[in-house]
A = this chain, B = another copy of it.
Amino acid sequence: MRTALPAELDRTLAALLGADGWRTDASERLTYGYDNSRLQALPDAVALPRTREQVIALVRACRARRVPLIARGRGTNTTGAAVPVAGGVVVSFERMDRILDIRPGDRCAVVEPGVLNGDLQAALAPHGLFWPPDPTSAAFSTVGGNLACNAGGPRAVKYGASRDNVLALTAVTGAGELVVCGSATTKGATGYDLQRLLVGSEGTLALIVEATLKLSPLPPARGLLRALYRDVASAARAVARLMAQPVTPSMLEFMDGECVRLARDVGGADLPAQAGALLMIEADGDDTTLPAALDALARAAAGDGLLAIEHAPDDAARERLWAARKALSPALRTLAPGKINEDVVVPVSRIPALVDGVQALAREFALPIVCFGHAGNGNLHVNLLFDPADADQHARAQAAMARVFALAIGLGGTLSGEHGIGLAKREFMPQALDAATLALMRALKATFDPDGILNPGKLLP
């Protein structure tokens, strides 16, 4: 199948990008048409630019023909944000993958968008530094993709998500203009903060061609506590106590009673029958500071409903304590072949209400739903399990997830903490945001991208 692009544009872009950087072969296009959402669409072409100048020329050429451009890192996002639903050109940044500068004295690194998060961390480690965002996909997702989705991860509770760890961005707007937003400083009050606006915009406002990232000192030591609670309410009160004292945990992960039961009964984890919730509590620091930090966290974790708290003094014990959490995902797969995994976020105090509400929905829709995730941020992964081959179950699963969104919004939370909106949740945006705010977002989109060529059909309903 030939590309549907105008022949002149095809020739122009082939000349701009070279045979290696411009792909219109159907099998190649297929490869760039999906992401981790399992949604798929065929782009008209794939561009693999090597320079910002190529990106500018590409955007200008496509704008002149009103051809969509869909930015792509490595397609690990879960919302369909990288799926070219309106056709057009997928712009893969896999060849713009250089680390341009590491400046330990300024705690910043300058990178191209296509560098893998994991490769960056490896390059930073010898300097005793790291970049905080740590999505599960870190080893094979790009910094540009992390920024596009405002990716987080367990460490966000202490270090923030992608938006909190960017100092400056250079980007090409939908008008083909190169803009430089921010500076390599940790403070700034010089005009509008465009760089944080671009983070999380899912490629709908501009294409990032360079990022100056805020780095943090790599703590030489980490310590882990595992606390078991009678019920979710006790664990949630412990989360509130943990977050209200001065030692911020470097991870604060939660598993609800269903997760604990599955990890034990299906996954074989060594957990007592009466445990109704579990917290994994990590501190980081050095040999001087870590023991005091762990003491402070253990004191905060203690309280009514605590059944047991264990400390992992070494790597072996650490592995043993993580085993329960790691048993969970395989256990989930044995329960049902299909899974909708959403990442609603609520104020921390509303975690018990969220989990209770989710369990009520599980009963109402007769489907297992489990909650686990980043408790310190109130960011829970709600996993709804079903058999995709069963149309009725599939429909019930989708109806139940719509109710989960309404539940989270009703509790003062919102649709997504770190996965983003993409295709998967855009129809729910009017529940989360009022009409005037959505209209302003649409107007902002039009300001950056007057012809609507950047990732059309995503994020905004």
Contacts and interface: CB of A to CB of B under 8 A. Distances in A.
Nearest to A172: B436
Contact of A200 (B183, B193, B201, B349): B193
A187 B379 CA distance: 7
Contact of A348 (B107, B163, B218): B107
A86 B173 CA distance: 32
A200 B189 contact: yes
Contact of A296 (B152, B192, B240, B286): B286
A429 B245 CA distance: 41
A246 B289 contact: yes
B191 A459 contact: yes
Counting chain B CB atoms within 10 Å of each CB, the highest count among A220, A374, A447 belongs to A447
Contacts of A51: none
Interface stretch (A16-24, A29-37, A59-67, A413-421): A413-421
B413 A185 contact: yes
Nearest to A415: B190
Contact of A185 (B180, B292, B293, B346): B346
A219 B192 contact: no
Contacts of A440: 173, 177, 179, 194, 447-448
Given A106-B348, A377-B186, A441 B288 contact: no
Given A180-B434, A288-B292, A378-B185, A191 B349 contact: no
A310 B222 CA distance: 30
Interface string A423-435: 0010001001110
Copies of this protein in the assembly total 2
Contacts of A247: 285-286, 289
Given A240-B105, A440-B173, A345 B183 contact: yes
B197 A192 contact: yes
Interface of A: 103-108, 128-129, 149-150, 152, 156-157, 161, 163-164, 173, 177-181, 183-194, 196-197, 199-201, 205, 217-220, 240, 243-247, 284-286, 288-289, 292-293, 295-296, 345-350, 374, 376-379, 412-421, 425, 429, 432-434, 436-441, 443-448, 459-460
Given A185-B378, A187-B418, A192-B200, 7 more contacts: A179-B437, A183-B412, A183-B413, A185-B379, A189-B420, A191-B200, A192-B205
